[in-house]
Chains A and B, each alone.
Chain A
Amino acid sequence: MMHASLYRPGNSVLHRLPAGLKLSVLLAAGGCSILVRTPTQTTTALGCVLLGYVVARVPARAVLQSLRPLLWVILALGLFQALIMGWPRAFVIVGVIVALVLLANLVTLTTRTNDLVDVVVRLSRRVRLLGMRPESIGLMLSLAIRAVPLVAELAARVREAQQARGHTISPRAFAVPLILGALRRADEIGDALAARGYDD
């Protein structure tokens, strides 16, 4: 099973850019997104992001994978906006969201987790004043990224178990084992962290 939003090794210009710069561009893009008003601007923004994928030599499959979880939300939002505000406005809103998701995905695809975590730790230095450790925030971020494929695998296993027993789709029968499994996995990872000396 392949998951989006994980580092893909490479040697492109984007791979070699400092993680801090890439995160700054992402942040700036998020801030500037409210300035995008026309379909032409939206198309330009989407084009720039897709050009980034070409430069980073990321296959089109990865682009689609990063959008798959959002597909229904995008469709529903697009349809709603089209009915209320018209198709041009719907295109702008959906296009900006898609561009930002793709840009965020491009940053994680071209940046090692450790480099991202180092930037977050550097930016979090001030939390020491509150008695917190920036390293803990970095660790939290790494664990969250690591948890994505683990929870996805767990969900797939629960779904398979349901199908094997002939159950039809039942949110409760899906959610209960998924939550219990995720909690058990969290416990195990807590033990592993303690065993590897991260217990203080």
Chain B
Amino acid sequence: MLIDINDVSHRYPGRAKPVVDDLSVRLDERRIAVIGANGSGKSTFARMLNGLVIPSVGSVKIDGLHTSRHGSQIRKKVGFCFTDPDSQIVMPTVAEDVAFGLRRRGWSKAEIAARVHDQLSSYGLDRHAEHAAHLLSGGQKQLLALASILVTEPELLIMDEPTTLLDLRNTRMVADLVSGLPQQVVMVTHDLDLLADFDRVLVFEQTRLVHDGPPAEAVAFYRALMGVDA
């Protein structure tokens, strides 16, 4: 999918300073990462890509569709994975949460149940199908959040710091899972170890895009920017 961002700035109501300033970029690579310090505008940028945030100025187009006018249409093609899976899991049990995204498709109960079973099996969560979602471990919750988004087969997956709350093993598990996805992925992250396989990395600093390049170059730039040696 082509992500086309034109002269975008965004200011939240009641705030004097913009959170994203003067941003123009076109993205069509398979794996795109966004890094930057806290408060640099990364998460707002991610939220703009599926219309959760509509920029105050400028336009965001996903495959030619304006997020300001075609939000619902875009969100059918663009999945969004939040940092905290507890904010994302909306149904009480594991199977019900995966089924949630399929309920509006007009499928029969049996079709939905079969699809949910397949999805949970491929994520190793099938034995937890009837369990309460809040009883899963942090890693399992993030897996469930991903399974619930990907069951609707979006073309583009936006991930806002999906590994921030996870331990090393679960971070690796999510990274492996993401690398095997057929979908285009835009991932906001603080974990620089995840970037090696990415095609393009954007670096944000104080609301602006300050660097755009391949992973090694972008990470070196970011480390220098933060005053951290490699």
Which residues from B are CB-within-8-Å of A113?
Answer: 91-93, 96
Q: Does A114 contact B (CB under 8 A)?
A: yes
Seed contacts A185-B86, A191-B87, A192-B90; 7 additional CB < 8 Å A-B pairs: A3-B134, A113-B92, A146-B91, A149-B134, A194-B75, A196-B80, A196-B100
B111-136 residues at the A interface, CB under 8 angstroms: 130-135
Contact with A along B5-31 (1 / 0, CB 8 A): 000000000000000000000000000
Which residues from B are CB-within-8-Å of A145?
Answer: 92
The closest CB in chain A to the CB of B83 belongs to A188
Q: Does B84 contact A (CB under 8 A)?
A: yes
The closest CB in chain B to the CB of A152 belongs to B134
Residue B92 contacts which of A1, A7, A153 (CB distance < 8 angstroms)?
A7
Residue A193 contacts which of B71, B72, B90 (CB distance < 8 angstroms)?
B90
B133-156 residues at the A interface, CB under 8 angstroms: 133-135, 148-149, 152
Interface centre among B90, B100, B130 (most CB of A within 10 A): B90
Residue B75 contacts which of A9, A112, A199 (CB distance < 8 angstroms)?
A199
Tell me how many residues of A have a C-beta within 8 Å of chain B: 28
Contact with B along A173-200 (1 / 0, CB 8 A): 0000000000001001101111111011
Contact A199 B72 (CB under 8 A): yes
Known interface pairs A3-B132, A153-B134; A196-B72 also in contact (CB < 8 Å): no
Q: Does B99 contact A (CB under 8 A)?
A: yes
Contact A192 B132 (CB under 8 A): no
Q: Does A150 contact B (CB under 8 A)?
A: yes
Residue A197 contacts which of B76, B82, B93 (CB distance < 8 angstroms)?
B76
Supply 21 A–B pairs (Cβ within 8 Å), ascending by A. Answer: A3-B132, A6-B92, A7-B92, A9-B130, A9-B131, A112-B96, A113-B93, A143-B90, A145-B92, A146-B90, A189-B87, A192-B80, A192-B87, A193-B90, A195-B80, A196-B148, A196-B152, A197-B72, A197-B104, A199-B72, A199-B75
Cα of A143 to Cα of B132 in the assembled complex, Å: 13
Tell me how many residues of B have a C-beta within 8 Å of chain A: 33
Cα of A9 to Cα of B96 in the assembled complex, Å: 13
Residue B132 contacts which of A114, A142, A149, A195 (CB distance < 8 angstroms)?
A149
B: residues with CB less than 8 A from A are 47, 50, 52, 71-72, 75-76, 79-80, 82, 84, 86-93, 96, 99-101, 104, 130-135, 148-149, 152
Contact A142 B72 (CB under 8 A): no
Which residues from B are CB-within-8-Å of A114?
Answer: 91, 96, 99
Which residues from B are CB-within-8-Å of A3?
Answer: 132, 134
Cα of A18 to Cα of B113 in the assembled complex, Å: 17
Cα of A114 to Cα of B148 in the assembled complex, Å: 16
Which residues from B are CB-within-8-Å of A130?
Answer: none
Q: Does A21 contact B (CB under 8 A)?
A: no
Minimum CB–CB distance from B156 to chain A (whole Å) comes to 12
Residue A188 contacts which of B87, B96, B101 (CB distance < 8 angstroms)?
B87
Q: Does A2 contact B (CB under 8 A)?
A: yes
Known interface pairs A114-B99, A145-B92, A199-B71; A194-B134 also in contact (CB < 8 Å): no
A103-136 residues at the B interface, CB under 8 angstroms: 112-114
Contact A2 B130 (CB under 8 A): no
The closest CB in chain B to the CB of A188 belongs to B87
The closest CB in chain A to the CB of B53 belongs to A191
Contact B93 A112 (CB under 8 A): yes
Cα of A192 to Cα of B86 in the assembled complex, Å: 10
Cα of A2 to Cα of B131 in the assembled complex, Å: 11
Which residues from A are CB-within-8-Å of B89?
Answer: 146
Minimum CB–CB distance from B220 to chain A (whole Å) comes to 33
Interface centre among A9, A112, A114, A191 (most CB of B within 10 A): A114
Minimum CB–CB distance from B111 to chain A (whole Å) comes to 14
The closest CB in chain B to the CB of A195 belongs to B80
